[in-house]
Chains A and B, each alone.
Chain A
Amino acid sequence: MEAVAVDDLRTRKLTSPEANAKLLAAQREIVSRERLKPFTKRTDRHGLIYFGGHMSIVLGTGYLVYLATGTGWLIPAMLLHGVMLGHLFAPMHECSHGTAFRTRWLNETVHWITGIMILWPPTYFRYDHTGHHTHAQEFGKDPELVLPSPSSWMDYVYYVTATQLWIKNIGWILRHSMGRIRPFNRQFVPEDQLPRIFLEARVMLAIYVGLAAVSVALGTWAVAIYWAIPTVIGVPVARAIRIADHTGCTEGKLDLRTYARTVRTGPLTRFLCWNMPYHCEHHLAPSVPFHALPALHAEVGHEMNPVDKGYWAVQRDVLRHHLERKFRFRIVQSL
């Protein structure tokens, strides 16, 4: 097991003025503000359709779990339900950018609901995610770096099974609720905002403990059957999909054209991922809401990484060419 050291975390401020100025300049080199402006318009309609649709699917698959209870179909139904629950990362992410809805309270409400459902502290994620956008694909700086080179198949299993996700997210909630935060995570949060991060974790923890207590008191397995177990078994599908966003793309340098990947996929996946398969375009212009990404792709996609693969092909490439066939396991500091 190899621990990865990261330099001087106490003094580093990741989203530094220099790095952000470079990022904005790189974005403008590809697309001017005038050209981008029509794509940045916000609506409530698209978010309501997507969120309403996504939650209806979740309710529908939850109903399938109910119908399957006591039959041999229970595990497949839970898996399907869990895949839909796991994809709630997509609206949580979109809301973290504030681009899901034009109306702010709608955006913040959905941000919270989805964050709670997938155990992702929404406000902390908003800070952490600034580091990902400013330092995408930079080892030791990008808090969401997925399988940097060299990574092994053990790292892949650790990531895709979501072991890494649960250790990271539950770790955040427990640590933050005790008023503690790791230096790596602390660098994203302004000092005066730490109490908010700690309060958020306490509220989340209270909700989860409350749900557990009510379940025990009522002697019900509903929370486990309709939410916890399906999420644990379904999230790996969303993890495998997320690998395609950056893994195997340019690392260590700010190259908006090649450090992310847009993936060819069908309408259902695009819907469940809230158009994040257009990942190159999302990094090029995070102010562009999810519903305008296909149009932005039509405008600038030809300048970005070629879109020649679907999720299966990317997965095969990562497994065959990107991963080292070694028994090696790295704990990346960005937990």
Chain B
Amino acid sequence: MAGEWRLVASTDDIEEEDVIGVDVAGTAVAVYNVKGKFYATENICTHAFAFLSEGVVIDDIIECPVHQGRFHIPTGKPKGAPVSVALDTYATKVENGKIYVRLDESRAPDS
């Protein structure tokens, strides 16, 4: 199940430098458009709970809406206080304007 590609959105659904939240088989996933490239990470901030899809995308960084903790979108790496634990990241692919996510996760080292 985890290894399946799942359709999560159309490329038009996510503006450039933006993020949406989707549910993939019960997992909250954030899908980002970073300069036309699409990435996916877990959607819950590792600091103390917040949906990252409510946050702000700045270049390839997602900033948490609650305490402004930052993560590197492509790798999930935490970028300093108050976050120190990496996000799980998921594989994505785009076919015919549709974004697919595969849930087998990978994770960058924590800071």
Contacts and interface: CB of A to CB of B under 8 A. Distances in A.
Q: Do A and B come from one complex?
A: yes
Interface of A: 13, 15-21, 23-24, 27-28, 33, 37, 40, 42, 97-99, 102, 104, 108, 123, 126-127, 129-130, 133-134, 188, 190, 192-193, 196, 286-287
B54 A24 contact: yes
Contact of B67 (A102, A130, A190, A192): A130
Given A196-B81, A287-B65, 18 more contacts: A15-B48, A15-B67, A18-B49, A20-B67, A24-B66, A33-B65, A42-B56, A98-B68, A104-B70, A126-B82, A130-B48, A130-B66, A134-B48, A134-B66, A190-B85, A192-B84, A286-B67, A287-B63
Interface string B87-111: 0000000000000000000000010
From A16, A20, A98, name the one whose CB has the most chain B CB atoms within 10 angstroms.
Answer: A98
A20 B81 CA distance: 17
B84 A133 contact: no
Nearest to A18: B49
Interface residues of B, number: 24
B51 interface: yes
Nearest to B59: A102
Contacts of B55: 287
Contacts of A104: 61, 70, 79
Contacts of B54: 24, 28, 33
Nearest to A127: B82
B6 interface: no
